[in-house]
Amino acid sequence: MSNSLQLVRMLLFQTGLPSCCISYDIVARNIIEKIFLASTTNPSKQLPTIKKVLRVNNTIDMLEKFEKYRETVKKRSFGQYKNHPKITVDGNELLQFHITTMSCCYEHMVINPDELCKDPSCCVCRLIQFSFRTSYNSKNGILLSTNSDVLCEHANRVSKGMNVKRAVIVCRTIAGRVVSKDDVKLDEEYDSISIASGLHSRSQNLVIKDSSAVLPRFIIVLD
């Protein structure tokens, strides 16, 4: 498990502070900012300014669906992925970023799924509402990345209007068995596809097949 994922799990489960506590959310912002800024493959490159960090208060149903998918991947791994021990341990859980946009002005530091905005153009709220199950994602998979600078290149291509802000969803992800885009076979069993991103050969961009593998935890709102 990566250090970043360990920090997030510690933040979520071991801070000793109630989730509604202001101190908790200040700690959350500081840790998530550090993870995002440290995930660049080019430290000399300037990243967008972080305006705020929001925490997603996942429902019990969202958490149960995520853990059920993890167990499905782990059980399958015992017979098929014997050479991939991390899959049998935790389903190959990774911390990943997803770039999108946000139209609403969330005044609180916590996003509750039952209090999302109704604006159909607010991608953050719609992705949380439908657990990443959109027509595009169903057809093409969910694009995620481990690197903030790669994300920011995508962000520069994302249009933003007067009330639209660029945002990054920080996700816990069950990657399962990962195969290279060039090695995908129609009859092969896999859970996600690894895609190289231009010059960033060290970066890992993943396309996740199943939306149950993705659990949004924090929203980074960019300037």
CB contact at 8 A, 137 and 143: no
The predicted pLDDT at position 21 comes to: 47
The predicted pLDDT at position 180 comes to: 84
Instruction: Kindly list the averaged pLDDT for each block of 10 residues, start to end, along the chain of length 223.
Output: 59 47 66 83 75 90 96 84 78 92 80 89 93 90 83 57 83 91 70 70 77 94 84
Give domain limits for the chain: 3-222
What fold does the segment set 3-222 form as a domain? Answer: Phosphoenolpyruvate Carboxykinase; domain 3 (3.90.228)
Q: What is the dihedral of CA 46, 48, 51, 54, to 10 degrees?
A: -110
Q: Give this prediction's pTM.
A: 0.84
Tokens matching residue 127 = 């992705």
The predicted pLDDT at position 214 comes to: 97
The predicted pLDDT at position 162 comes to: 64
